[in-house]
A and B are shown apart, each in its own frame.
Chain A
């Protein structure tokens, strides 16, 4: 450093030189505030940017706000006595809302010259940067937490918990009203979120009704915290509410709810910056909530459809054993293209109608077509005696010009007479039913016809047969015969293998036979992908000849 006089003023231990360095008159005005503090804590001199130091008077003791500087002076002076160079380190402190870094230079008389560099702006920038980093981290974490769940309630709980921990002292998520009740999720900082349905009018909270409609939030300072209803403040909040932010949770097209942030009266209110940030958070949480709600809605629609479309549980009807098994190709779909139904005859002497079918395609399209076919067939029950007519009417009902989606099915009219079961079977483009005789023979019933739903004209040929006690007629979809797998993999299970397997099942109860076929398919497929599989067994029950009539059956056999 070179003084205006050209003398070398590099700090040395020479006190005389040090003294000369502070000849302020010849220096002009230093760009920093300068205070010379004597050991008694008096401001011996004030120079430079004195405007930064209002209230500091030359010759007067340092004001209370600069007590930190007085302390540092005492330390620096003591240090000088014992150790001399180097200069003591700079100290930092605040004065009248400004932050200073004070750099000391010792004088021989024990007083210290403090150069006060104003770092207010730098600290502010650093703080803003830190805050921004924290927010980014928070938003990233919030996104992770929010998007990891497709459950709307867990999403609301996470929103309340995150918001109460980072943005406020407590947070309340209000979902759009369900009927007359508001689903509310409340959380206090550090606590778990609690959910409740509250019969409350959203218009009692300033800005809430608007936020639930998706209107932009009103500034926090416009909301009077004393006007909040009691239900809004979570248990454990403790003191009174000092400030409130109500912000909408924007969803996909429709508002997903509103987020209310509460701060205690001991904390400062929400800054504009914080309100903006709350909106950023609300946007993420709203998107997650909205996705979760859409998913829930979809799930409930699928469940409603499925409930109606799942094949029924079969049991004995009018003295005939029915057993069925259905497995969809995909656990996710649960309902695929295969189906079966048993429509009992009105009386024991009227035949029951069994339907087993396979709709082409998969997923919802197939499920919808399945539902259509099952309903139509149920409506056609009065004419179930004429299979060809039933199939023609069904074909007419399904035919459309948009596509050639079709179904193949087997109709079976089943009637028990004495201890035998009479069957009339019609295949509409479906693999032929198999009858397992008591002696182990497996017969293919030679019924044939065309598929339904895609052709203008269809044909069908009905074949009759009779089951003796213990014999079973098996209706199945090609999920078993077309199963690819086996010891080498990729091999078709095929008709012949199925017939050979059934030949060992003579006299087996229907339930056991169905289970056996299902097991064969699973074993054949191993872990491989598979098609839907539906199997129905119609069995004439094993009977004992009775000498006495048991009262309500007309036969002389146990039912």
Chain B
């Protein structure tokens, strides 16, 4: 799709000026990057809820999450876990970008948050209490958080963000959709400064749902035999048998480039283009599903006025899912065309698990750091490529990226029965000025 003249002429450039995240592998972008490069995993046996009745117990939990470390001593009771994760990541992102409470007093900062569930735990708890104790004993506080935009609302209240406050639910693509929409709002002049990213919590209800869907790693998945039981997710690997549900939150601070430069902000990267597409077969036709993702990549490249030859690295959404990873591999092979063997690809969900709404923002956040260091983490545990699809860029090894003045990174998100998305960022020059410190 070719953007019209009008679109190109009014577009403002959108830059990333801050990153804030909370993950099973830490809350500091540099520490997370180091952990990913070392192949450390945040996936372990679940502790936050009782797994006694579940055959598989692997998940990406944030252990010892202490919201007060980020949010101070104010009363945290009104926020559920998703809300706390989101508010903590937002706190870090605002500080990282230099938007302290005083600095942002005269600015209308808004928020676009991607999520898959909001908090299905809060919703279910509210309902179950009404069922067992009677409706008049249900908890009003839980009801306030039962709306899917609760985390976005709580984050805006906590940090006093009066601008646009949008929640996007797009399955695994929610995070990239949120970043893309936020970039468009700034690019078109509708907003100047936005927090964009996503959040989801790890909870019993969603875990049971994924388990009953046959999607959690540790079992035999859809296609595997009893002998194929790696307990950890291994994206793109022939032995994979599912993903590890996980949790996390990540926000990037997006700003209009000129204003960011004027205030002396540190520019981490530029959002070059994005697109989102949909597979109308609802994943009943695998070829159509993969075509929808490769179409998103093509449209994102067209929007960015960039070619596939310029892509330095890919951060894929592959998480170990038996069907999804094969579809994403096919889509990437198609989208990368003549460079199928050349472009290094990572899949951070091999180590972070599947953080749902936070996934896309975590892919982009770690891609920003990767481009700054010219280093791409490997895919932990990857050793046996699937025969059907050849992607030369898959590797367990952490790789140096070629030196390039302004490297381009591609993040992809595949939605089975939901939208897919692709987003391109451009890293800074390799002179240390734009490194994340």
Q: Do A and B bind each other?
A: no
Q: Which B residues fall within an 8 A CB radius of A?
A: none
Q: Which A residues fall within an 8 A CB radius of B?
A: none
